[in-house]
Structure 1
Amino acid sequence: MAEKGIIFSAAMVVALLAGRKTQTRRLIKLPKEFSRPDMGGWEATATGGEGVFTIAKGKRLPVPERAAIWNQTTGTTIGMPYAVGDKLYVRETCRAIERKSGQDQFQYRATIDREDEDAENVPNEPDAGGWGDLSIYGRGKRDRKNFATCDDDLTFAGPWVPAIHAPRSTSRLWLAVTDVRVQRLQECSEADAKAEGIEGFACIGGQAWRDYSGGPGFNMTDPRTPARRSYSTLWDSLHTAEGARWQDNPWIVAVSFDVHRGNIDAETANG
């Protein structure tokens, strides 16, 4: 079992909080020397073994009992960075704030009113026990305290820290991995697409799903538009490079999980 961070966009954090999202798909970045068309096909394998190496490290490291992808031509096996039983703490865009009451808290982009990015007064933000972890972000360009200029209940608000730089202490959600599959992107089923957390609502004649390629609107021209089609627009909004798009049908790792609220370290301490 491993504990590691995983980045989510604000929209997907909202889906996690709402209970809509229980799966995520991540692109498998094949090493350049093994990704040429003449290198032969790849196929999924259930587990790794001796000689398996992780993509992230770029060198051979044993990865037993992990889903993997295998190259028929070279015999190269690449283990996935996720396994059943792993705990993933969610990394999202956040900042440190202090309210006029003197309470230090973390504030998150995902739960600020998405129609008004200047909105500050968001209730029930977690206490910032590790506030100092964010105070060093942007040092040299701004003071430790970046005082808010808006008329609200904040004494100060620090700079927004991108999800990729969000430390473990800021995580308010963690995911318990229940299943890991290696597959081609277009193997995503209708049920899988819904589990990815896409937005939809019931309407006359069926269900309307969000079209992520055209802004925040929903596709109302055909209320029977399947969730899978909606998810394909979400994927393409995040993956624009050739070879990574929905139409390219790349290899991905599909991770299923149970969502838990709270900081992962607090859970470990209580467990």
Structure 2
Amino acid sequence: MVRALLDGRKTQTRRLLKPQPEVFPVDDAGTPCDVGLLHVEGDRLPRVTTGLVITKQEVRFAIGDRLWVREAWHAARSLDRTPPRDIPRDASIEHAATARSYAEIGLKGRLRPGMFMPRWASRLTLTVTDVRVQRLQEISEADALAEGVDLGAAARHARGLNREWIAGHCYDCEFWSPVTEWKLPGCGYRTGDESDFRPRLSSGAGCSHGFKLREAEDPKRFQYQFLWNSLHYKTGEHWEDNPFIVAISFDVRKGNIDEESQA
């Protein structure tokens, strides 16, 4: 995600709407009511609407909000036992997404999760330009591109896809060995039946090359489906469940949020 922000490839993000709104029919045919957002005068955050009902549920983001990005980071090894709040502001910080190799940084300390990054160490600032509620599968190809998705889809995330489709579209299938009956590490294997491809779900590994995205009708949207399912495991949250989400668009600026405020 951080690399996509730095490269200018990511200007959208999606978050699961919690709790999911209660949808009711608006006619005898069972047509579901619309779900959206409304900014009520006097409120800082927009509220979720179901049909003509303005609920009390607020989303966490509003147009104009400025956010600072937390990312995995390193301080000097000498500060490994120092809590983030006590690290001096003039300390040398290495951001993991663009860190040099271990050979080049002999004194680099332990990797620290982004949730513990001090505000002053952030180097990316986001300004929210749009907030909307929609179904997950409403994401368009252009939206998926703006999500910055760029990954080899993993076979273990192939919920909703049959084995024959996977076997025919996975790059690794081209390198399957009829002698060992094993494909490249981390993808899957075939049994004695040529058509029976089984993702190696128990190994925790995914496809080492990815799917032939050129054959997908909407390749970026297709990739995003796998990315979403890799992050959301609970019932009702999968791509196939098509839950309501909050889609946030933003501008990205390189620089600390407080430095920009002072500029």
Tell me which interval the TM-score lies in, with the shorter structure as reference length.
0.5 to 0.7
Q: Which amino acid aligns with 2:7?
A: A
Residue in 1 that maps onto 2:148: 197
Does 1 or 2 have the higher relative contact order (CA < 8 Å, sep 6+)?
Answer: 2
The alpha-carbon deviation at position 231 of structure 1 amounts to 0.6
Residue in 1 that maps onto 2:259: 266
Q: Which amino acid aligns with 2:65?
A: D
Superposed, 1:72-83 pairs within 5 Å as 76-83=55-62
Please tell me whether Structure 1 or Structure 2 has the larger radius of gyration of its CA atoms. 2
Residue in 2 that maps onto 1:250: 243
Q: How many residues align?
A: 196
Change (3 A) 1:106 1:225: farther
With the length of structure 1 as denominator, give the TM-score of the two structures: 0.62
Kindly, what percent of the aligned residue pairs are identical? 41
Residue in 1 that maps onto 2:211: 219
Q: Distance in 2 between matches of 1:188 and 1:171?
A: 29
Change (3 A) 1:179 1:112: same
Q: Mind listing any 5+ residue stretches in structure 2 that lack a counterpart?
A: 25-31, 79-89, 158-205
Residue in 1 that maps onto 2:72: 93
User: What is the root-mean-square deviation of aligned Cα atoms in Å?
Assistant: 3.1
Is 1:109 the counterpart of 2:96? The answer is yes
Change (3 A) 1:225 1:269: same
Is 1:47 the counterpart of 2:47? The answer is no
The alpha-carbon deviation at position 221 of structure 1 amounts to 6.6
Whether contact under 8 Å (1:93, 1:166) holds in the other structure is yes
Change (3 A) 1:76 1:240: same
Q: Which amino acid aligns with 1:267?
A: E
**Higher normalized helix content (fraction of residues):** 2
With the length of structure 2 as denominator, give the TM-score of the two structures: 0.64
Is 1:17 the counterpart of 2:44? The answer is no
Residue in 2 that maps onto 1:127: none
Q: Mind listing any 5+ residue stretches in structure 1 that lack a counterpart?
A: 1-11, 51-61, 114-118, 121-150, 200-208
Residue in 1 that maps onto 2:222: 229
Whether contact under 8 Å (1:22, 1:257) holds in the other structure is yes
